[in-house]
Amino acid sequence: MTTSFLAAEPVRAAAGVLQSNAWVLIALPLLGAAVLLLVGRRGNAWGHVLGCATVLAAFGYGLALFASALGDPHPVRDLYLFSWIPVNALQVDFGLRLDPLSLVFVLLITGVGSLIHIYSIGYMAHDQQGRTGGANTERRRFFGYLNLFVAAMLVLVLGNGFVTLYLGWEGVGLASYLLIGFWQRRRTAGAAATKAFVMNRIGDVGLALAIFLLFAKLGTTQYTEVFARADELSSGVLLAITLLLLLGACGKSGQVPLQAWLPDAMEGPTPVSALIHAATMVTAGVYLIARANPLYTLSEGGQLAVTIVGAVTLLVGCVIGCAYDDIKKVLAYSTVSQIGYMILAVGLGPAGYALGIMHLLTHGFFKAGLFLGAGSVMHGMNDEVDMRRYGGLYRYMPITFVTFALGYLALIGFPFLSGYYSKDAIIEAAFGQGSWQGWVFGGAAALGAGLTAFYMTRLVLMTFFGPRRWENLTTADGEKYHPHESPAVMTVPMILLAVGSVGAGAFFTFGERLVGYLTPALGELEEGHAGVLPHVLIPVLTVGLSALGALAAWLFVGRRRVEVARPQRVSPVVRAARADLYGNAINRALVVRPTDGLARGLVTVDSRGVDGAVDGLAGFLGAASHGLRRWQSGFVRSYALSMFTGGVLLVAAMLAVGMP
């Protein structure tokens, strides 16, 4: 790699007041979380206001920081805060890395986060699902967890070393666990939370091992030093580190083979799905790989593994998404698949880092908008999630429909909306790889675009168009459906996100604004080699495939009658897709059963062997104690005798040892 490619050297000082106090960004939501979770019932009345205020303030700070950094001659700055883990050879400083990459994430997290916080005020106003306290108690707890999530996510993206990143990584994992299981009374929610936590743990072990390996080989975990000395690592170590980091990314971002937790995570309240499991947290894997770009750039094997994971995931997500009837699960698999695109992009190396981030940002807008739209639909439909029970809703919730439709168009890559620019660029870069890789990855990405159009069109048709299937149905509680539009506190964030869905892609692309901005952090964007397909052909191909997918959806779904009951006699492909392409079965066979067996075996060893030995010893000591107590008779004469005996024995021993 030439030096011109390398990212800008970081400067270890802050330019202005705003930058040197950047810790405020993290402190604000953290303080909010602490207050909301510790203050108790007294905070019920104003808890949600505080929760929104801290995130909004952080967004404001982030904007100011972003603006002040625009003209900065040193776009990459390391901000030292304090010595965190000073142990002999292991010296970890707690510091912040302020560069275009982290600032973009800060804006995404706090910006989308603010909108979703505001939306949640309405969504959680009458939450009775938890029933552990009043609605207000539940809402305060909810905002406390959301604030905690924002703080942890900011630590993740702002940290200037892998250990700081790991702190945030675990923090968002905790917040995600708490929020998936937020409705504690539902058994399924608890199970989903546990599943997410355990599967994430597998990824986390990968990340932790990667950090250990970095420390063992380089003696440091700070970005600056690691990246500067990455070329000291042997290719085998580099491959190991990049694969372990990829394992971490797979866990957090729901990539194959660790994808199964993400759809289940939709058990949480819908704003959580929008913020954590669509727009921000699940993209942490993409961030990780983009952040570690100097390592991946040096390891072709690592890049290849990343692209394979991305390509497989994007197809798996699309296929399963076609088969589900649960609106949130379809969106969840759509998320899995879209993150597959991003992973594919960052796996392409210098040709794709910035493109992956761009798709991440546009996806953040339209997917969050789609989830909020789904939440709005559910809000108006008594929390019904089965699309077979929807139909013709566009008349009853027009704002939801329009915003949702814009998000949908952006997602399937309708020309000149957000997704068109970002996804198209990825597909183009994939084809630009040349040789077999270009055909395989480019083909997978283009095929994915067609499938995406199919399942998303199916979703929109089933939800907003067709006959009103809900009219003759009742909810599980036996009530009639009364679809209605949501209040302004929910629709306004949806409208704002829809604006982003429409315009963000064009805004980022014109004049290569985003790519240029990110260059100091990610390096120069390499143009593809002579690709396997001519440049002009690719957008045509993509749009064509998408149109084909949408048409197919209209032919199979829009034109026909949708049964309320789920058809049982279906083709093997659909059956496999409905079973998540057997992802859960594979997990169960490969991980759960062996672990269960091991645990059972260990329990046997523990209860028979270890406990037996300990209990036996305890019994022996107890018996000995009871026996010896008789000697403590209370008689001075016997005490004196025992002393005398002891003295005689001691003197005898002395003489025996001393005079052989």
Q: Which chain residues interact with other proteins by CB under 8 A?
A: 618, 621-622, 624-626, 628-630, 632-640, 642-647, 650-651, 653-655, 657-659
Closest CB to other proteins among 434 and 622?
A: 622
Query: Could you say which DSSP state residue 11 is in?
Result: B
Pull the structure tokens for residue 600: 């059972």
Which run of H or of E encompasses 78? strand 77-87
Q: State which amino acid sits at residue 106.
A: V
- Tell which residue, 337, 367, 395, 319, has the closest CA to residue 576: 319
Q: How far is the CB of 618 from other proteins (least distance, A)?
A: 8
Whole-number minimum distance, CB 630 to other proteins, in Å? 6
Report in angstroms how near the CB of residue 617 gets to other proteins at its nearest: 8
Is the CB of 87 or the CB of 565 nearer to other proteins? 87
Q: Which is nearer to other proteins, 219 or 616 (CB)?
A: 616
Which residue reads 């010893």 in tokens? 617
42 vs 626, beta carbon nearer other proteins: 626
| Shortest reach from residue 87's CB to other proteins, in Å | 16
What is the rounded distance in angstroms from the CA atom of residue 543 to the CA atom of residue 168? Answer: 39
Number of H helices, E strands in the chain: 27, 2
Q: DSSP string covering 16-81, please?
A: SHHHHTTHHHHHHHHHHHHHHHHSGGGGTTTHHHHHHHHHHHHHHHHHHHHHHHTT-S---EEEEE
Task: State which residue, 478 or 634, has the beta carbon closest to other proteins.
Answer: 634
For residues 510 and 644, which CB has a smaller minimum distance to other proteins in the complex? 644
Count of alpha carbons within 13 Å of 606, Cβ hemisphere only?
Answer: 6
CB of 656 to other proteins, least distance (A): 9
Token pair for residue 90?
């292991």
Q: Which is nearer to other proteins, 87 or 659 (CB)?
A: 659
Alpha helix stretches (DSSP H) within 183-326: 187-218, 223-228, 235-253, 261-264, 270-274, 284-291, 293-298, 300-323
Task: Supply φ then ψ for residue 144, to 5 degrees.
Answer: -60, -45
Task: Provide the phi-psi class of 382: left if phi over 0, else alpha when psi is between -120 and 50, else beta.
Answer: left
Q: What single-letter amino acid sits at 585?
A: A
Beta bridge partners of 78: 97
Collapse the DSSP code of 85 into the 3-class scheme (helix H, G, I; strand E, B; otherwise coil) and give the result. Answer: strand
Q: Token digits for 369?
A: 């908008």
Taking the complex as a whole, how short is the minimal distance between the CB of residue 23 and other proteins, in angstroms?
27
What are the backbone dihedrals phi and psi of residue 98, each rounded to the nearest 5 degrees, phi first?
-105, 105
Shortest distance, CB of residue 608 to other proteins, whole angstroms?
21
191 is written with which tokens?
Answer: 């199970």
Nearest CA to 23 among 74, 51, 58, 55? 58
Smallest distance, other proteins to C-beta of residue 620, A: 10
DSSP 81: E
Q: Which is nearer to other proteins, 24 or 618 (CB)?
A: 618
Minimum CB–partner distance for residue 610 and other proteins (Å)? 14
Within a 10 A sphere around the Cβ of 213, how many other Cβ atoms?
A: 17
Nearer to other proteins, 537 or 640 (CB): 640
| Beta carbons of 11 and 78 less than 8 angstroms apart | yes
Tokens of 557: 């779904």
Q: Taking the complex as a whole, how short is the minimal distance between the CB of residue 641 and other proteins, in angstroms?
A: 9
- Name the residue among 223, 221, 214 with its Cα closest to residue 85: 221
Q: Is the peptide bond between 257 and the residue preceding it cis, with omega within 30 degrees of 0?
A: yes
CB of 644 to other proteins, least distance (A): 8
Minimum distance between the CB of residue 647 and other proteins, rounded to whole angstroms? 4
The residue among 49 and 610 lying less far from other proteins, judged by its C-beta, is 610
Query: Which of 87, 655 has the CB closer to other proteins?
Result: 655
Which of 154, 148, 212, 209 shows the shortest CA–CA distance to 182? 148
